[in-house]
Structure 1
Amino acid sequence: MSDKQKIFFFRLLCGDVEGKFDTLFKRVESINKKSGPFDILLCVGNFFGVNNKEFTPYKIGDKKVPVPTYILGPNKEDHVPFYPSDDSEFELCDNVYYLGKRGVYTDSKGVKIAYLSGIFETNIETPWTYNAKDVSGLCDACVRGNPSFRGVDILLTSQWPAGIISGNSNVSLSTNAVSDLPSYLCMKLKPRYLVSGLEGIYYERPPFRCPNLGDHDTTLESVTRFIGLARVGNPNKDKWIYALSITPLDKMKMSDLFQKTTDETPCPFNFNELESKIFKIKRKISGVNQYFYDMNATDEGEEKNKKRNKKPRIEMDQSKCWFCLASPSVEKHLIIAVGNAAYLALAKGGIVEEHLLICPIEHYQSSLGQPPDVLEEINQFKEALKKFYLRNNRIPVFFERNYKTSHMQLQAIPIPKNADRELKDIFVDESEAQGFKLDVLESHGRLDQVIPLKVPYFTVELPDGTVLYTKIQGSVHFPLNFPREVLSSGPVLDMPNRVEWKDCILPKEEEEELVQRLRTDFEPFDFTM
């Protein structure tokens, strides 16, 4: 790939902040003006410290965080109160976001970031610790539903991976701040950059490649670079901030990924030893890079075979989701059409008879971060509904509420053509009356460019294509019935008795009859047939 063809997206990496927020954000602002713009700042280690009074001005809005900042979770019990107690809240202040205990975050530019918060403890589960179960869950989150998984761009851990300084006698680490589990994650996920904190020193290891692990491993043997960052404003002036230009893995040519570097070193980890130590796995080796997996090995052959054939644990219990198509809880009699990645269904307790839902078939919490094929099919359903509603001289309003929901639902409500007059002003005025503000998404913009992946939000798309949105802050009580209140009002549908969905539920027999009629009416517009 030539320099002209390369696509670089700029990231900043930061070590332990430990309450020195002014030092951090002043430095970030300076770098951003001089060498930016940078898309995001990723922080590892302890974000909070003993004294956190400098955070208050940022929290109340007197000072601004210059770049969207993503942080790992607490590494000690004393820091837990500084993080959200509700799993649905991730915004600590404007432009500072808590990634969570573990997971994978693919940003708007396609850079895939895996992360693991806390310090290792064997058997206990607390907000500031992780264990082998968390590591297995993170691996599952990366690989599950992704048969062509190739690796991640960045792996963030607060603890350093044990063995990373092998062969370097000039670096010494505290034994309580390293763990074998980040080493195992490195072998499994093959990050192009592995970044850690907590040690208080800067160390950048020469690049290395983690070997392919056999027939079950679809990752690429791309180069991994480890970066350990020092504490913000440390007296030794060790490097605590790192500017990184990176092309997303999915946008790179294979030849560039496999290209050798002049300073490569042997991989410092042994996968068999790590797997045996962490998971007590016995592995038989047959030939080069050919492995037979047994995640629950015992001395009894029969028991071993039974456990080997067990299906891997699914982290998300989709049986409890009302909208996962494979779930026994979904009300299948409401379904109108099913595609490859999304489906169309009657909204339960709809405002009008043709109040419909577009949902992904698999479990995604919101429209942000979904695979391109899912988004493409959702858009196909939207276009089909526009034509469907137009047959009765009606036009659709689409809205999504990613707040106190677990499965993405794009709601579609048809309104008369003449009812869209001043619809934007009605939504904006009513939002201000209810204590929050709706912003207009620029015509050339995307929702994922203004709302981070895990931040709750509400968005509505008006018939003229205008998109309004709001981030739902932790301190704001967002009215769940807000879009129904607006659309049911006199200027729009004039159906004030249809605000509460529970009051609009039909008996199952009537729902089945309505769905059957809708299936017939929608058939000329159904691209899934």
Structure 2
Amino acid sequence: MAPPRILLCGDPRGNLNQLFKRVSSVNKSTGPFDALLCVGQFFPDSSDRLEELTEYVEGRKNIPLLTYFIGDYGAGAVKVLSAAAKESRNLGFKMDGLKIRDNLFWLKGSGRFTLHGLSVTYLSGRKSSSGSIYGTYSQDDVDALRALAEEPGVIDIFLTNEWPNGVFNRASTSDIPEGISESSGSDATISELVAEIKPRYHIAGAKGVYYAREPYMNADAQHVTRFIGLAAVGNASKQKFIHAISPTPASTMSPTELSTKPPNTTLSPYTFVEKQANAHEAEKRSADMANDSQYWRYDVSKRQKVGGGDTARLCFKFVSSGSCPQGDKCHFNHDMDARGQSLRGVCFEFLNKGKCERGESCNRKHSVQEARSKECWFCLSSPNVESHLITSVGENCYCALAKGPLVQDHVLILPIEHLPNTLSSPPEFETELVKFQSSLKAYFKSRKKEVVFFEWVYLKTSHANLQAIPIPSNRASAVKDIFNLAAEKLGFKFMELKSDNSLEGRRLLRAQFDGNYSLFYVELPGATILLHTVEENEKFPAQFGREVLAGLLNMADKADWRNCKLDKGDEIKLVERFKSSFEEYDPNQ
């Protein structure tokens, strides 16, 4: 197959008429192209230009080519993007862009996705201390990219708004644009990231000039990187703002093809930039230690040091997933205490730096003491258990209505003791769990409904819960197909376990679980079980089961439980109603 053909664009700044007219012309004369990737400021400089933007956002004018942008700042950005973020189609984990309208997608935060076979990473927004939700990136966004860089595979394209500091180092001086300043529109964080990510193409805007640097070699990698900086659309000096590339995806190339180096290849421009950044980070850390009440977070002696590194920074990959593919070679800290705090909802940036620049706009906790005082919500012995949601209690497990339920009778089956999952629980718990399942099936059948059970068996989960969600009987035949379709979109296939009943099905399920890998399983109406073992580096949505059933029930806006939270009074009413109607089926009555 022919390599994909991609158009690259510098800051649109709201000049969408001129941009899309040019795209249409280029596409007609030298196309067809597969997509347009925009870097730099996408929105207008002032509100005077909003009408032109609105015509495209509202669909009164067509966008001729699949378009992605990362420059989420400028006039009108907050209004357009906040509205898009609330739409049901954009809820959940979407690295491949939030849809603004047909052919227009916003790449939010940071991430990695595949575009016509090309591996694309991006960092949206610019560096800022304002803590704004839109138009700036956070430390979490940066560390997420660092974690992605550790995963296997070569990145084809890296998109940033600002240029990296030091890109002119070791470059041919004759090619450097005259009068250009290193300080304006450049970012040292980008330099660090691009040195770690090692993309084949790095595309940036925001500096107002066009510059295509000679290819340069990367440390610990065979392939070269090409940097392309693009000018703004409609710039007065008529510098190049649109550029075409047609790279063969690295995933389809042989090692020999990937390692080919053009004759004008230079050494990496970021070798001494990294040294300067490390020195600056150490100096900044020392200052923070003297001024920050959370200075103890920097005390290396209180952390689990690995790899012989001298840094106190936490490994985002380890904190977020519990493991790091670099192992002892990782230069960041693998801190189990920080991992536990993160699972309790503490902000990674706060854990890493002792403070979070986003302040109140961050929805994570900024207090270690607060997190430690929170005991497990689901242990019956905990003073913080939400006892008003409990509907039935047995010897080894109990039932409770879900907080933020997808549907009215959304039930959880949970162990009384603190167990990480239901598959490694003792036999007496298993027997009681199956009784609860049978009772719920009978109860919902009496109401012309079937029930779907699913569990996300995450190895680091604090307290097991098997979710039970009723669906109309006439939708039962579609459950298997929609789960398989969702799996296909995520790039995996379910293993299917067939049995005559839940007890037999769970016996087969336990045989597949060795405790070394996380897994997701769903028991369909009729006792068939779909199972997926989640690999160590695999990105798997924590709310996958709920999101799929929300789609089946045409309730996409309820895919996130936080959108469904109820007042305690309303929760109590739902529990009382359920207990009354479930009473004759309850195995503990």
- The two structures have a TM-score, normalised by structure 1, of 0.58
Shift of 1:139: 2.8
Partners of 1:148 and 1:242 lie apart in 2 by 29
2:62 partner amino acid: K
Tell me the equivalent position of 2:216.
208
Tell me the equivalent position of 2:269.
268
Shift of 1:388: 7.2
Partners of 1:503 and 1:168 lie apart in 2 by 75
2:164 partner amino acid: P
Aligned to 2:263, the other structure's residue is in SS state coil
Partners of 1:249 and 1:113 lie apart in 2 by 11
Shift of 1:196: 0.6
Shift of 1:103: 1.5
2:250 partner amino acid: L
Correspondent of 2:10 among 12, 15, 26? 15
Shift of 1:292: 3.7
What CA deviation, in whole Å up to 9, does each residue of 1:9-58 have, x standing for no partner? 22221101111111111222232333333332111111111213212222
Correspondent of 1:182 among 162, 184, 190? 190
Correspondent of 2:52 among 51, 54, 66? 54
Correspondent of 1:293 among 304, 309, 312? 309
Shift of 1:373: 11
Shift of 1:197: 0.5
Distance 1:8 1:317, change over 3 A: farther
Tell me the equivalent position of 1:40.
35
Shift of 1:315: 12
1:157 aligns with 2:196: no
Shift of 1:75: 4.5
Distance 1:293 1:26, change over 3 A: same
Tell me the equivalent position of 1:277.
280
1:310 aligns with 2:335: yes
Tell me the equivalent position of 2:23.
28
Aligned to 2:53, the other structure's residue is in SS state helix
The aligned runs of 1:320-339 (5 Å cut-off) are: 333=414
Partners of 1:233 and 1:176 lie apart in 2 by 20
Distance 1:12 1:354, change over 3 A: same
1:74 aligns with 2:77: no
Partners of 1:355 and 1:66 lie apart in 2 by 45
Distance 1:376 1:197, change over 3 A: closer
Aligned sequence identity (%) = 25
Tell me the equivalent position of 1:356.
452
1:62 partner amino acid: R
Distance 1:179 1:78, change over 3 A: farther
Aligned to 2:29, the other structure's residue is in SS state helix
What CA deviation, in whole Å up to 9, does each residue of 1:480-525 have, x standing for no partner? 8xxxxxxxxxxxxxxxxxxx99899679x999989xxxxxxxxxxx
What CA deviation, in whole Å up to 9, does each residue of 1:124-162 have, x standing for no partner? 42235656724642334415xxx6434422111111101
Partners of 2:2 and 2:216 lie apart in 1 by 23
How many residue pairs get matched? 382
The aligned runs of 1:480-519 (5 Å cut-off) are: none
Aligned to 2:23, the other structure's residue is in SS state helix
Alignment RMSD: 5.0
Partners of 1:277 and 1:221 lie apart in 2 by 29
Correspondent of 1:109 among 116, 133, 139? 116
Partners of 1:260 and 1:332 lie apart in 2 by 59
Distance 1:511 1:35, change over 3 A: farther
Correspondent of 2:144 among 138, 144, 147? 138
Structure 2: unaligned runs, 5 residues or longer = 88-97, 287-306, 314-331, 346-374, 379-411, 416-420, 425-435, 461-481, 500-504, 506-520, 529-540, 560-572
Tell me the equivalent position of 1:285.
none
Partners of 1:234 and 1:45 lie apart in 2 by 13
Distance 1:412 1:107, change over 3 A: closer
What CA deviation, in whole Å up to 9, does each residue of 1:153-211 have, x standing for no partner? 21111111011123444424342311111110111111111111111111100111220
Aligned to 2:232, the other structure's residue is in SS state coil
The aligned runs of 1:346-385 (5 Å cut-off) are: 354-357=450-453, 361=457, 375-378=491-494, 380=496
The aligned runs of 1:374-453 (5 Å cut-off) are: 375-378=491-494, 380=496, 407-409=543-545
Q: Is the 8 A contact 2:111 2:123 kept in 1?
A: no
Aligned to 2:492, the other structure's residue is in SS state helix
Distance 1:359 1:74, change over 3 A: same
Q: Is the 8 A contact 2:37 2:68 kept in 1?
A: yes
Aligned to 2:236, the other structure's residue is in SS state coil
1:97 aligns with 2:105: yes
Aligned to 2:82, the other structure's residue is in SS state coil
Partners of 2:34 and 2:484 lie apart in 1 by 17
Partners of 2:56 and 2:497 lie apart in 1 by 42
- Per mean C-alpha deviation after superposition, the further-off stretch among 45-54 and 373-382 is 373-382
Q: Is the 8 A contact 1:77 1:128 kept in 2?
A: no
Partners of 2:34 and 2:151 lie apart in 1 by 27
Partners of 1:372 and 1:53 lie apart in 2 by 40
Tell me the equivalent position of 2:535.
none
- Greater relative contact order (Cα 8 A, min sep 6): structure 1 or 2? 1
1:233 aligns with 2:195: no
Partners of 1:32 and 1:332 lie apart in 2 by 56
Tell me the equivalent position of 2:304.
none
Shift of 1:247: 2.8
Shift of 1:314: 6.3
Q: Is the 8 A contact 1:106 1:369 kept in 2?
A: no
2:126 partner amino acid: I
Partners of 1:95 and 1:373 lie apart in 2 by 19
What CA deviation, in whole Å up to 9, does each residue of 1:206-234 have, x standing for no partner? 1112202xxxxxxx342111000111122
1:252 aligns with 2:253: yes
Shift of 1:459: 4.6
Partners of 2:99 and 2:257 lie apart in 1 by 37
Q: Is the 8 A contact 2:110 2:124 kept in 1?
A: no
1:31 partner amino acid: V
Partners of 1:265 and 1:97 lie apart in 2 by 35
Q: Is the 8 A contact 1:132 1:278 kept in 2?
A: no
- Per mean C-alpha deviation after superposition, the further-off stretch among 33-42 and 228-237 is 33-42
Distance 1:391 1:358, change over 3 A: closer
Structure 1: unaligned runs, 5 residues or longer = 1-5, 213-219, 283-290, 298-306, 321-326, 339-344, 393-404, 414-457, 462-468, 473-477, 481-499, 515-529
Q: Is the 8 A contact 1:357 1:409 kept in 2?
A: no
